[in-house]
Amino acid sequence: MIKSRTDAEVFPLGDGITRINEYDFANCFLVEGEESACLIDTGDGICDLPAILSKLTDKKITVLITHAHADHVGGICRFDEAFVHPLDLKRANKYAKGIWRAYFLFCHRYKKNKHGVSYREAFIKPRRCVLKTMKEGDAFDLGGRKIEVYLTPGHSAGSVTLRDTLTGTLFTGDNVNPMVTLQYPGSAGLKAWIESAEKTLSLAGQAPIWGGHGGEAIEPRMIRTAIGFAEKLLKDPPKRRGVVTVQGEEKYPKLVARARRS
Ligand SMILES: [Zn+2]
Ligand SMILES: [Zn+2]
């Protein structure tokens, strides 16, 4: 029997928002209202999130998933219920399974990271999670603040951006990150991503934008640069098929896409 871990790092961001980082990788966010709270993404399931959350709040928690990749949806197996966009529903069921969590860990060489997370830990015994759907225009009322749902396809077809009405903060999952990845199966392609990235910028205004990875909020400048890369790829697609990477002089941002899939 594998003992579940509770050593994920917790960073209060102020205004009732907490970032929970699962072993230097995916971010989860707890947003607390006056009456209830919500958890945005569940990590890859290695961490015993319910145990960590119980130390942070005693309010009822609604689980919302930005997109159905194993490092965000893997932890739903620890909850009774979660919300995901219908376009990512099928993958959410698939990627929450132990084999995909282990594959994800393998890809990211968790075995060697400072936290010493092993592949075996991906195979926790899942609790049955009922997946419900959420769509553009939905809002989850937490009391004194709401979490609004916006469909922002690109990184996956059912990627959503969640907006906190109290602070304006956006939670973009992986659709907007320093490294934009559009090469995975289920991606909505370059054109859709550009529209979504522009929508994200206009939704954000001056408010913070938090992605699914990294310890800092995303600067709008990074998003604009990545949009420029995507437009360049659309206008002048590479001759060969396959995965292409576009990168500026700086280390980030970077855009990875599948050629001729847009
Ligand atoms: Zn992802
Ligand atoms: Zn991710």
**Would you place residue 42 in the very low, low, confident or very high pLDDT band (cuts 50, 70, 90)?**
very high
Which residue segments constitute the domains of the chain, with CATH numbers given? 9-259 (3.60.15.10)
Q: Which ligand is nearest to the CA of 72?
A: 2
Residue 212 CA to ligand 2 centre (angstroms): 6
* 165: nearest Cα among 181, 150, 147: 147
Q: How many other C-beta atoms are found inside a 10 Å radius of the C-beta of residue 140? A: 19
Check: CB of residue 89 under 8 Å from CB of residue 131.
yes
Q: Which ligand is nearest to the CA of 42?
A: 2
Residue 34 CA to ligand 1 centre (angstroms): 31
Q: Residue 109: what pLDDT?
A: 66
Distance from the Cα of residue 16 to its chain's centroid: 19
Residue 69 CA to ligand 2 centre (angstroms): 7
Q: Which ligand is nearest to the CA of 69?
A: 1
Q: Which ligand is nearest to the CA of 44?
A: 2
Average pLDDT over residues 208-226: 94
Q: Is the peptide bond before 153 cis (omega within 30 degrees of 0)?
A: no
14 has a pLDDT exceeding 90: yes
* 134: nearest Cα among 208, 186, 64: 64
Residue 77 CA to ligand 2 centre (angstroms): 17
Q: Which ligand is nearest to the CA of 108?
A: 2
